[in-house]
Structure formats: structure tokens, C-alpha cells
């Protein structure tokens, strides 16, 4: 076998790696980590104080990456905090990030279900009742111009006066955020069939329900799952925001509050990274459900 023949499979694997998804993502992650470390040096340099002139470059950089309360913690400090609060702490402990993540995720998932159902119902109504497209749709769009930080305390206080506390108020805030992308996506999806396809359904004497179930709904599924990916991520944001004005004792929002009160920036960043990881995992699960559903429908990836 010639040298070129032996190198051909390796070259093919290398090209597959470069043109695949993993390589570009890895490059971006490495770039972010590098920028993060450089930013930590720049921001934490002021914390070194009078000892800076006597330190060598290597010791100076090490000092900026090892502050107890840094302005910007280095990535390895955040990873160490995550390891301590995830792997080395009991899941039932209130110091466990898994415990706090579950509190927030439970509110986010409930809000996602409420918001998605509301969005689908509104979309179906808008598509089938033409007057709602001009009367209701503008108000749906206008609802998203109100800052959630202004709405959240009002919802928490109003529902608290009715005796609703804990999970429900946070889930309503999540639903408020995530119903909008589902509504808009489903309106686009339900109106995506071509006019000739709608004419064919009328030729078959199909009623509105049959047209919806056999034509509009299958055509809208790709749009629905795309909206779900946005909604599931933003529902987590809503749950975290819902925890902030209440001084919650549990949840990722509570970890952010406690960290800000006591200047624990490493704890704050660990909670942020945990929230981003949880959001990515939920979006990935929606993506998996999308692939399985479309595969069952015979759609090729």
C-alpha cells in the first residue's frame, strides 16, 4: 500500500472533522475561554494593590486568576465552584446547584407548558377568525414591549395577595415570556400551506377541523418546534427573573441574589454558567423531540 493510500482515510477523517459541527464549536469555545482569561487579568489587576510592582509577570497573572472575590473570576475558578456545588454537595442541600437548578427548572417547565398551550390556542384562533388577526395580534406584539422586570413584581404581589406563592407566580412569568414566540411561529406555520392545497381540502369537502388536523397542523410542526426552542430557553429566564423580586430562598435567581449581596462573584458566575447549561440541555431535548417527531412523519433530516 502506498503512502498516499494510507494517508487518504486520515485526510478524509480530518476533513469530516473540520466541516462538521464539533470543530467550529470547539474553536469558538476556545476563543471565548482565551478572551475570558485575558479579561480576568485586565479587570482583576486593580485588586493586586501595592504588591504588583514586586511581582513578576507570571506571579502577577497567577494573582489575577486566584482572587477570592474577583471582579471577573477566571474560568477555572468557576469550574471549581461548579464542581464543589454539584459533585461534592448533596443534591438535597441548599448549597447544591442541582437543587437550585431543579427549583428554577420546575417553574420554567410549568410556564413553558402554560405558555405553549396559550400560544397554540391563540394562533389557531387568529388563523381561523380573520378579525382577530387585526384586533388581537397587535396586542400580542405590544405585550412584549413591556419590560419583564417591571411586570414581574406586579404579578408576584398580585398573586401573593390571592394566596398564590411559590411555583405558580414564577411559572406565569415564564408563560408570559414564552407564549409570544409560540403564537407567532404557529401563525406562520398554520398559514404555510399553499392555496392549492387548501383548495384540494375544500374539494374533498373537508371541514375546518379536518383541514387543521390533516393539513395545517403537520405543515406547522417545523415552525412549532423552532418556536419551542426559543420558548423553552426564555422560560428559564422568566423563572429566574420571577425569583429576583421575591427574595426567594431557592432557585438560580436566589443564588444570584445571595452572591450579589455578599460580593461572591464566583458564586454568581457559577450560577450563570449553570443556567446557561440547563437552557442548552432543554433546547437540546426539544431538538431531539423534533427529530423523532419529524422522523415518524417521514421527513428526512
- Predicted local confidence at residue 115, as pLDDT: 93
Enumerate residues 6+ apart whose C-beta is below 8 A from 267. 81, 255, 258, 259
CA 18 to chain centre: 27
Q: What are phi and psi of 299, to 5 degrees?
A: -85, 125
Where the chain has pLDDT below 50, the residues are 1, 5, 7-8
The grid coordinates listed for 99 are 437543587
**DSSP string computed for 145-211:** TS-HHHHHHHHHHHHHHTT--THHHHHHHHHHHHHHHHHHHHHHHHT-S-HHHHHHHHHTT--HHHH
- Predicted local confidence at residue 19, as pLDDT: 61
The answer to whether 290 and 225 are in contact (CB under 8 A) is yes
Angle between helices 97-128 and 265-296 (to 10 degrees): 50
- Predicted local confidence at residue 8, as pLDDT: 47
* pTM score of the predicted model: 0.83
- Whose grid coordinates read 388581537? 136
The grid coordinates listed for 288 are 431531539
- Predicted local confidence at residue 245, as pLDDT: 67
Amino acid at each position: 500500500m502506498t503512502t498516499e493510500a494510507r494517508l487518504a482515510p486520515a485526510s478524509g477523517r480530518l476533513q469530516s472533522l473540520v466541516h462538521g459541527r464539533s470543530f467550529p464549536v470547539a474553536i469558538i469555545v476556545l476563543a471565548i475561554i482565551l478572551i475570558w482569561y485575558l479579561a480576568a487579568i485586565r479587570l482583576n489587576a486593580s485588586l493586586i494593590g501595592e504588591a504588583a510592582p514586586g511581582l513578576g509577570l507570571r506571579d502577577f497573572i497567577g494573582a489575577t486568576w486566584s482572587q477570592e472575590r474577583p471582579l471577573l473570576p477566571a474560568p477555572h475558578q468557576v469550574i471549581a465552584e461548579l464542581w464543589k456545588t454539584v459533585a461534592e454537595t448533596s443534591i438535597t442541600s441548599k448549597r447544591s446547584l442541582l437543587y437550585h437548578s431543579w427549583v428554577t427548572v420546575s417553574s420554567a417547565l410549568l410556564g413553558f407548558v402554560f405558555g405553549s398551550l396559550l400560544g397554540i390556542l391563540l394562533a389557531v384562533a387568529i388563523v381561523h377568525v380573520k378579525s382577530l388577526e387585526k384586533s388581537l395580534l397587535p396586542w400580542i406584539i405590544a405585550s412584549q414591549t413591556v419590560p419583564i422586570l417591571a411586570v414581574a413584581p406586579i404579578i408576584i404581589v398580585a398573586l401573593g395577595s390571592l394566596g398564590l406563592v411559590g411555583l405558580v407566580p414564577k411559572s406565569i412569568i415564564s408563560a408570559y415570556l414564552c407564549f409570544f414566540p409560540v403564537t407567532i411561529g404557529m401563525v406562520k406555520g398554520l398559514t404555510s400551506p399553499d392555496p392549492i392545497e387548501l383548495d384540494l381540502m375544500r374539494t374533498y369537502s373537508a371541514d375546518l377541523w379536518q383541514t387543521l388536523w390533516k393539513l395545517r397542523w403537520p405543515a406547522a410542526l417545523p415552525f412549532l418546534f423552532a418556536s419551542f426552542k426559543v420558548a423553552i430557553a426564555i422560560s428559564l429566564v422568566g423563572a429566574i427573573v420571577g425569583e429576583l423580586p421575591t427574595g426567594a430562598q431557592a432557585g438560580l435567581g436566589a443564588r444570584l441574589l445571595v452572591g450579589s449581596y455578599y460580593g461572591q462573584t464566583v458564586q454568581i458566575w457559577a450560577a450563570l454558567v449553570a443556567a446557561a447549561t440547563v437552557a442548552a440541555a432543554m433546547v437540546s431535548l426539544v431538538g431531539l423531540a423534533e427529530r423523532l417527531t419529524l422522523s415518524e412523519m417521514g421527513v428526512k433530516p
